A and B are shown apart, each in its own frame.
Chain A
Amino acid sequence: MYQLNKVDKKFPGVHALKAVDFKIGRGEIVGLVGENGAGKSTLMKVIYGAYQPDSGTVTIDGKAVRFQNPRQAMDHGIGMVFQEQSLITNLTVMENIFLGFEQQFVRFGVINWTAMAKAARHQLRKVKLDIDPSTVTSKLSFAQRQLVELAKVLTLEERIDGDLVILLDEPTSVLAKEEVELLFSLVRELTSRASFIFVSHRMDEVLELSDRIYVMKDGEVVDVVEHGQANIDAIQHKMVGREVDKQYYREQKQHPYDSGKTLVRFDRVSVAGKYRDVSFDLHPGEVLCLVGTEGSGREAVLRTIFGLERPSTGAVAIKGNPFHRATAQEAVARGVGYVPRERKVEGIVNGMNVYENMTLSQMGKYASHGVLRIREEKALAENWIKRLSIKTPDVYKDCGGLSGGNQQKVVLAKWRSGGSDIFLLDHPTRGLDIGAKEDVYDMIREMCDDGAGIVLVADTLEEAIGLSHTILVLKDGEIQKRFDGSPGGKPSPFDLVHHMI
């Protein structure tokens, strides 16, 4: 019924979808799995009309269609239930359900609320939700809101002729066990009204619910598994299985760390709502990698070390001294350097030049009584431009105009030149091309040899494994497992995935 034929999508520097074939029949539930960055979200966006494919065709019942925007896709029966819920919380349930489609209830320019409530009740019955449609949405539980969202999508049934395809993006990620069961039985019943595309990190759920599973990796569909033949292990191998080149991650340069000293100690630290009971030690020369899915708490751990999150319980000590009033200033003063994920927003200051960016965290060292010694700043910048071979015409170049890899080098130079020896790297290679990535890997090894400790949240599992001495796997804010990553004894991505999802 709904079909994608050889759909291709490219973004600058990324081939996001490579000739993807995909089909879904009436009343089917199709699962979609893959690692972060495998192309799942791009594929979904093509399906619900947020992206237009560069080549290939989309057909519904054999007829080619092209959607300019999600609204046109909806008119063809394709609806999306968003992971981050798209309901407006200060509107009532019925206002949300009919948002943008109120015209049908309007008489003489005024909305007939009774009619809308009646129609909303009809929609809510489809998802077996027995609530007053005039309830304000913020009063509902998360699971209830999800059902309202589903009811909203199901209004398509009355609005259009033809079949419905509904995308569910990670619908279970924040639901309790019983709520998941309820949702699943509901989805199964609703197959009489619509087909579903189900995207989830939780392999067991995908297996349980789906008639067919598409496995994606690097923008390609690498396997299509029917319900009966699905096997978790086989699918996970397909998802991650690629040979890891040892040279690529500079494993030959990985040296043992100094376990005699401790740079950062976490003792049963919790941050309310983010993570619980996390303990670890970071030593000089160690790369400690936090692995987990989005929302597993790995970024929050980094932010705690940098003083941007305050622990609710437990103790953080940096170089033996406890962190009392956590602030970023104190963290910087104690030698912590933070390389944030949003390089263009948090990493560099767009609009300031190379030397201004490099000394931003350490202006005090280049000033007497608050007056800057700009000549020394420039000398520092020239020195580090040479050392890290940063490609910039001169020290006056606006950092916003540098390439991603060179921006990242400027951020690293900022902390290294300031004498930081605890580095927090949040997706340091995100969006960089291969050459720039390798430069970053070289720098990580170099910093370790200088006695620095590194806490890393990597872009891919291979990167995490290739670079780290120690791997902590987090799931739902708790440490699941600790792996040793010494060269020769590194775990496989498959070992990690087991504990992540």
Chain B
Amino acid sequence: MSIENLKPYFPWITLAVLVLLVGALNPSFLNPASLVQLVADIVPLFIMALGMTFAIYIGGIDLSMQQVANLVTVVATVYLVQYGIFVAFLCIGAGFVIGAASGWITTRQFVPSFVATLAMGFIALSGARFLSGERALSMNADARDASFGWMFGNTVGIPHELVIAGLLLALAWFLQSRTTFGRALKAVGSGELAAVASGLKVDQIKILAFALSGTFAAIAGLMFSVKLSGGDANLANGFLILAIVAVLVGGTPLTGGVGGVINTLVGTLIVVVIRSAMVYLEVDATMQQMIFGVILIVAIAMTIDRSKMRIVK
């Protein structure tokens, strides 16, 4: 078995090694109850990374996700009392529309996705600031418990957050592996020109991929908002880089076409383990972003398919 054949398993190996390493340093890390809690805590991040997977899988990127989530925390907080549980539709619809707009700008106006989504992100951020009046808002506690309290319960020791994450993962996996849409995403990611020459509606597929990443960002924002019982234009800050790191470390390269949502699960777990290791090792909070920045660069350099890139600017 050569190194090349092993490559798809690198993320799993990395995860296993990291878990054992951190477990050796701090045996209490391996306590099942604390592990479950640790994982449950990062469900919003995982959902955002799932969405990011779609954008990166087609060879693009969605930098607006953090701001979409920010906007959604505000929308959810402001309209919860008025609409109750149906505020979820409003939130998810907003994510879908913003994502689709990014996709439209990318495919029809030929603006590279990193710029298109960056710009849409700022638009979403402005929306969040305007709607929140630049204040940190709190949710109406009664309305929150009535509509979304179920999200944070437990059934036979399993936090409901994990169940939601599992369902979304199953849905994303099904979309990616079992549907014509998922197959088309793979074709666009691995060989867009061949997809065009096979008569696929490549523009539509790309727009839908960005719409999906926007939708997942909105779901992540909604959960985060309910979890913290509030909304604020800066609430989800810091998620973006972690979501990108999770996707790339999981083995979906920026060039797209390989990897997928299961890889993102592994990648997210790697991020969590690294983060908790840094807590045990008492790495200063301000240093953590720096470390993730370095990991991001290393992950990109290791996973990218250079045969697909002629010029890098």
Which residues of chain A have a CB within 8 Å of any CB of chain B?
306, 308, 328-329, 331-333, 338, 340, 342, 345-352, 356, 360-361, 363-364, 367, 370-372, 374, 414
- In the complex formed, the residue of B with least CB distance to A373 is B178
A357 shortest CB reach to chain B, Å: 8
B200 on interface, CB distance cutoff 8 Å: yes
A431 shortest CB reach to chain B, Å: 17
Which residues from chain A contact B178 at a C-beta distance below 8 Å? 371-372, 374
B16 shortest CB reach to chain A, Å: 26
Q: Which of B180, B198, B199 neighbours the largest number of chain A CB atoms within 10 Å of its CB?
A: B198
B183 on interface, CB distance cutoff 8 Å: yes
- In the complex formed, the residue of B with least CB distance to A351 is B190
B310 shortest CB reach to chain A, Å: 12
Decide: A361 and B199 in contact? CB cutoff 8 A. Answer: yes
Decide: A372 and B179 in contact? CB cutoff 8 A. Answer: yes
Q: Interface code B180-221, partner A: CB below 8 Å = 1, 0 otherwise?
A: 110110110111011111111100000000000000000000
Q: A332-B198, A372-B178, A414-B198 are in contact. Are A351 and B257 (CB under 8 A)?
A: yes
Decide: A346 and B194 in contact? CB cutoff 8 A. Answer: yes
- In the complex formed, the residue of A with least CB distance to B200 is A360
In the bound assembly, the distance between CA atoms of A363 and B198 in angstroms comes to 11
Decide: B190 and A363 in contact? CB cutoff 8 A. Answer: no
B183 shortest CB reach to chain A, Å: 6
Q: Which of A333, A347, A363 makes the CB contact (< 8 A) with B197?
A: A347
List 22 contacting pairs A-B, 8 Å CB cutoff, sorted by A: A306-B197, A328-B199, A329-B201, A332-B198, A338-B197, A345-B191, A346-B194, A346-B197, A349-B187, A350-B190, A351-B186, A352-B187, A352-B190, A352-B191, A356-B186, A360-B187, A360-B198, A361-B199, A363-B180, A363-B184, A367-B179, A374-B178
Q: A328-B199, A331-B199, A356-B186 are in contact. Are A348 and B194 (CB under 8 A)?
A: yes
A308 shortest CB reach to chain B, Å: 8
Which residues from chain B contact A306 at a C-beta distance below 8 Å? 197
Q: Which of B181, B189, B196 makes the CB contact (< 8 A) with A328?
A: B196
Q: A345-B191, A352-B190 are in contact. Are A367 and B180 (CB under 8 A)?
A: yes
B258 on interface, CB distance cutoff 8 Å: yes
Decide: B194 and A356 in contact? CB cutoff 8 A. Answer: no
B253 shortest CB reach to chain A, Å: 11
Q: A351-B257, A356-B183 are in contact. Are A345 and B199 (CB under 8 A)?
A: no
B242 shortest CB reach to chain A, Å: 27
Which residues from chain A contact B190 at a C-beta distance below 8 Å? 349-352
Q: Which of B181, B183, B189, B201 makes the CB contact (< 8 A) with A360?
A: B183
Decide: A345 and B194 in contact? CB cutoff 8 A. Answer: yes
Which residues from chain B contact A340 at a C-beta distance below 8 Å? 197
A329 shortest CB reach to chain B, Å: 5
- In the complex formed, the residue of B with least CB distance to A331 is B199
Which residues from chain A contact B257 at a C-beta distance below 8 Å? 351
Q: Which of A348, A364, A367 makes the CB contact (< 8 A) with B191?
A: A348
B187 shortest CB reach to chain A, Å: 5
Decide: B195 and A360 in contact? CB cutoff 8 A. Answer: yes
- In the complex formed, the residue of B with least CB distance to A414 is B198
Which residues from chain A contact B194 at a C-beta distance below 8 Å? 345-350, 360
A330 shortest CB reach to chain B, Å: 8
- In the complex formed, the residue of B with least CB distance to A359 is B183
Which residues from chain B contact A356 at a C-beta distance below 8 Å? 183, 186-187
Decide: B191 and A351 in contact? CB cutoff 8 A. Answer: yes
A409 shortest CB reach to chain B, Å: 15
Decide: B183 and A345 in contact? CB cutoff 8 A. Answer: no
In the bound assembly, the distance between CA atoms of A370 and B177 in angstroms comes to 11
Decide: A370 and B187 in contact? CB cutoff 8 A. Answer: no
- In the complex formed, the residue of A with least CB distance to B191 is A349
A169 shortest CB reach to chain B, Å: 23
In the bound assembly, the distance between CA atoms of A493 and B190 in angstroms comes to 40
Q: Which of B178, B181, B197 neighbours the largest number of chain A CB atoms within 10 Å of its CB?
A: B197
- In the complex formed, the residue of A with least CB distance to B258 is A351
Q: A346-B194, A352-B187, A352-B191 are in contact. Are A372 and B199 (CB under 8 A)?
A: no
Which residues from chain B contact A346 at a C-beta distance below 8 Å? 191, 193-194, 196-197
In the bound assembly, the distance between CA atoms of A360 and B196 in angstroms comes to 10
CB-based closest 8 A-B pairs = A332-B199, A351-B190, A349-B191, A361-B198, A363-B180, A346-B197, A328-B199, A360-B198
B256 shortest CB reach to chain A, Å: 9
Which residues from chain B contact A360 at a C-beta distance below 8 Å? 183, 187, 194-195, 198, 200
- In the complex formed, the residue of B with least CB distance to A374 is B178
Q: Which of A332, A342, A345, A372 makes the CB contact (< 8 A) with B180?
A: A372
A363 shortest CB reach to chain B, Å: 4
- In the complex formed, the residue of B with least CB distance to A415 is B198
In the bound assembly, the distance between CA atoms of A342 and B191 in angstroms comes to 12
In the bound assembly, the distance between CA atoms of A331 and B193 in angstroms comes to 16
Decide: A370 and B197 in contact? CB cutoff 8 A. Answer: no
Which residues from chain B contact A374 at a C-beta distance below 8 Å? 178
Decide: A370 and B180 in contact? CB cutoff 8 A. Answer: yes
Q: A332-B198, A351-B258, A360-B198 are in contact. Are A370 and B193 (CB under 8 A)?
A: no
Q: Interface code B230-258, partner A: CB below 8 Å = 1, 0 otherwise?
A: 00000000000000000000000000011
Q: Which of B195, B199, B201 makes the CB contact (< 8 A) with A349?
A: B195
A360 shortest CB reach to chain B, Å: 5
Decide: B181 and A370 in contact? CB cutoff 8 A. Answer: yes
Which residues from chain B contact A414 at a C-beta distance below 8 Å? 198
Which residues from chain A contact B193 at a C-beta distance below 8 Å? 342, 345-346
Which residues from chain B contact A333 at a C-beta distance below 8 Å? 199
Which residues from chain A contact B179 at a C-beta distance below 8 Å? 367, 370-372
Which residues from chain B contact A352 at a C-beta distance below 8 Å? 186-187, 190-191
Decide: A372 and B183 in contact? CB cutoff 8 A. Answer: yes
Given contact pairs A352-B190, A356-B187, a sample of 13 additional A-B residue pairs in the complex whose CB atoms are under 8 Å apart: A308-B196, A329-B199, A329-B201, A331-B199, A346-B191, A346-B197, A347-B197, A349-B190, A351-B190, A356-B183, A363-B180, A367-B179, A414-B198
A34 shortest CB reach to chain B, Å: 30
In the bound assembly, the distance between CA atoms of A374 and B183 in angstroms comes to 11
- In the complex formed, the residue of A with least CB distance to B256 is A351
A339 shortest CB reach to chain B, Å: 9
B220 shortest CB reach to chain A, Å: 25
In the bound assembly, the distance between CA atoms of A345 and B193 in angstroms comes to 6
Which residues from chain A contact B189 at a C-beta distance below 8 Å? 351
Chain B 164-180 residues near chain A, CB threshold 8 A: 178-180
Which residues from chain A contact B199 at a C-beta distance below 8 Å? 328-329, 331-333, 361
Q: Which of A342, A347, A360 neighbours the largest number of chain B CB atoms within 10 Å of its CB?
A: A360
In the bound assembly, the distance between CA atoms of A352 and B193 in angstroms comes to 14
- In the complex formed, the residue of B with least CB distance to A424 is B197
A421 shortest CB reach to chain B, Å: 15
Decide: B183 and A363 in contact? CB cutoff 8 A. Answer: yes
Q: Which of A351, A363, A372 neighbours the largest number of chain B CB atoms within 10 Å of its CB?
A: A351
In the bound assembly, the distance between CA atoms of A91 and B114 in angstroms comes to 29
